[in-house]
Each structure stands twice: as C-alpha cells, then as structure tokens.
Amino acid sequence: MRVKGIIKQGHQVASGKSKDSPYPRGSIEMQRPYFYDLGLDITNYFSGTLNVSIAPYSFVLKKPDYTFKNVQWNRNYPAETFSFAVCDLYFDQSEYNSLIYYPHPETKPNHFQDKSTLEILALPIANISYGDEVELGINLEKIQLFLTETSSS
C-alpha cells in the first residue's frame, strides 16, 4: 500500500544537528556499527532519519524485518530495542529503498515521536525539505495502519 506523508522536522538527535543532542555525531552514526554486527548494514544510508507524518493515520509495527533487543549502543544510557521494516520512499519521481526505524518507546530514554510519525532511514535524497510530500510503500502484513480519530465540535 502507498500512503502519503509530509516531511516534518524531528528532534534532530538522530543526525546530531540539535544543539541539545547528547550525541554530536548523531545517534544513527553511533548505532550503525551495532546494527551491522547484528546483521543489518545501513552503511550507505544517511546518518539521520526522515520524519514522515502519515496523519490522519497512526501505525503499529506488527512483523518487522529486524528486531534487535537490548542493544547497548551508549554506555551512558540503558540498552534499547530497535525494529526495522523495509519500505519504499517515493519523492520527486524517484523511488528509494528505505527502512522504517523504530526505537521501541518502552526502552527509549527520551525524544519520542507521535503515533503518526514514521522515522525513515534512506539513502541521501537531494533537495528533500521539511513540508515536502512523499509517499511510502509499506507492507500491510508488517505495519498496521489506523485512522486516527478526531473529535468534532
């Protein structure tokens, strides 16, 4: 299924661009060798995530392609669990093989995303900016989508 989304600004911790980031190189750069040792090579992916709002949908990861439990990637914080699901990102008439990056909230110390935001790992994409519309090709056997209820007045 293809779902439309909008690129939005995140916490900029994954890329290390936030002034308040405890990880100057970014968390993705620090996590990369751990994921590699566990069997997932993200060497060529951008060292950050694209935050894609899929509102009015929210999601639940049902059957990820990879789940790594208790990854102790930073000695200053407790171990975390990460899941990844293969997806395709479509932007500017191009298709990019990508991954949904899901640090499990129950093991993550801070910087949470709302339930309508998917964090995407992708190859570097020229000219992509906040507010750009993208489409994600997702496998509904791996990711379940729900329409978010809105209250009416």
pTM: 0.86
Residue with the two structure tokens 């509904």: 140
Domain ranges of the chain: 2-146
Q: What is the pLDDT of residues 80-123, one digit of tens each?
A: 999 999 999 999 999 999 999 999 988 876 655 688 999 999 99
Closest to 123 measured CA to CA, from 47, 65, 16: 47
Any idea which of 8-17, 67-76, 109-118 has the lowest mean pLDDT? 8-17
Contact 149, 7 (CB under 8 A): no
* CATH class belonging to 2-146: mainly beta
